[in-house]
Amino acid sequence: MSKLLTPELLRYLEQFQLLAARRAKSSSKGERRSRARGQSVEFADHRSYVPGDDFRYLDWNLFGRLDRLFLKLYEEERELPVRIFLDASESMTFGEPRKFDFARQVAAAIGYVALCGFDRVSVIPFPNAEARIGGKGEISNIQHPTSNAQQSAIEGALRSVRGKKSSMQFFANLNALAGGGGADLNEALRRGALEARHTGLAIVLSDFLDPAGYEAGLTALVGRGFQVNCVQILAPEELAPSTFGDLRLVDSESGGLQEVTFGRYRMKAYQQTVQNFVQRLREYCTRRGMNFFMAPSNMDLQDLLLKQLRKAEVWG
């Protein structure tokens, strides 16, 4: 079974289906209604008969009433593309529990619901393996270092996954993903939006602590037509630091140094600053029709998955 999710939680998740406000536009058949007309059992509309149409789809009852030939149209069932943008930068390896570990659990849960619904799942870690791994070909900030080639292969395997039978390998690949290096959030989201052949659901799992901001990347996803869900993951130590005094802080991604004096009397001001940052992100998402969730890395995973996401109708 998955090391990321308990068997009990997997059984709960099997009852859900991702809810898409927009109909699926993918060209691959699945279990979602789309605007395409095909040979589904779900009736959609009529149109006038033209020579060459298949007689099997003529509505003979309507012909009997109106003495005119009409063709029955049906809604084609298509799959819903689900793209999970997973922040794998060095800052995500901070905290206890690590933010990156919690993010992978959320990615596993959302991916599993999608796979059970025969939707296509793509997990897009950023930065990619080449950017994360240094000259020695190893990532130092993980328990089981893997090579550049191995990480690239794992990322490739996560790019397009479909079907519940693929879930165990999906979990294994997620579990083997490493974190490290500096990320460009805006560029990762912009590139992901442009590369997508079809739009659908986009889930962004990140701490959003990028000096360049997040606006351009999220706007690119919305502009491309994605239905966006943002989950901001912060460590308990980031929300309420327990270290005080004269400190030398090192930026985990840029290596920049900053000497500060952080006394207990500054805790209230610090927490207000963090709350303001979270609130600005929340308001930015809400104004643009995106769902926003804030999740400390030590929160109960079931509370996020079974209560908050369900209440927001991410799934149901």
Q: What is the pLDDT of residue 222?
A: 97
Instruction: Please give the angle made by the CA atoms of 88, 92 and 97, to the nearest 5 degrees.
Output: 125
Higher-confidence position of 2 and 10: 10
Alpha-carbon distance of 198 to 273, in angstroms, equals: 38
Higher confidence at residue 158 or residue 77?
158
Could you give the 3-state DSSP secondary structure of residue 275? helix
Q: Between 131 and 179, whose confidence is greater?
A: 179
pTM of the model: 0.80
Measure CA 302 to chain center: 17
What is the token pair recorded at 267? 């805790």
**pLDDT tens-place string over residues 135-146:** 333 444 444 456
Nearest to 205 by CA among 233, 225, 183: 233
Contact between 73 and 66 (Cβ < 8 Å): no
pLDDT of res. 44: 63
225-247 pLDDT, tens digit per residue, is 999 999 999 999 999 998 777 77
Spatial distance between the Cα atoms of 162 and 123, rounded to a whole number of angstroms: 12
What are the tens digits of pLDDT across the range 250-295? 676 777 777 777 788 788 888 999 999 999 999 999 999 999 999 9
pLDDT recorded at residue 143: 46
Of 158 and 78, the one with more pLDDT = 158
pLDDT at 45: 74
Q: Round to whole Å and give the CA distance between 272 and 269.
A: 5
Nearest to 192 by CA among 90, 124, 257, 99: 124
Taking the C-alpha atoms of residue 271 and residue 292, their distance in angstroms, rounded to an integer, is: 20
Helix (H) / strand (E) element for 80: namely none
Domains in the chain with CATH codes: 7-23+80-311 (3.40.50), 34-78 (no CATH)
Residue keyed to tokens 């789809």: 57
Please report, rounded to a whole number, the percentage of residues in the chain having pLDDT higher than 90.
61
> What's the rounded Cα separation, in Å, for the pair 258 and 249?
5
What is the number of H-type helices and E-type strands within the chain?
Answer: 12, 10
pLDDT for position 260 = 74
Q: Phi first, then psi: what are they for 234, rounded to 5°?
A: -125, 150
pLDDT score recorded for residue 311: 94
Which amino acid appears at position 38 of this protein?
G
**How far separated are the first and last CA of the chain, in Å rounded?**
24
Q: Distance between CA atoms of 206 and 228, rounded to whole angstroms?
A: 13
pLDDT of residue 23: 45
Q: What is the pLDDT of residues 17-38, one digit of tens each?
A: 898 765 445 445 444 444 444 4
Give the pLDDT confidence of 82-93 residue by residue, as tens digits.
Answer: 999 999 999 999
CA 31 vs CA 41, 42, 72, 99, 315: distances in Å: 12, 11, 20, 33, 15
d(CA 87, CA 100): 7
Q: How are the residues of the chain apportioned to helix, strand and coil, as percentages rounded to the nearest 5?
A: 40, 25, 35
- Residue 222, token pair as written in the block: 């919305």
Cis previous bond, 51, omega within 30: no
pLDDT band at 133 (very low <50, low <70, confident <90, very high): low
pLDDT for the residue numbered 244:
78
Q: What is the pLDDT of residue 47?
A: 77
* Per-residue confidence (pLDDT) for residue 54, from 0 to 100: 82
Q: What is the pLDDT of residue 233?
A: 98
What single-letter amino acid sits at 27?
Answer: S
Q: Does residue 42 surpass a pLDDT of 70?
A: no
Predicted local confidence at residue 129, as pLDDT: 83
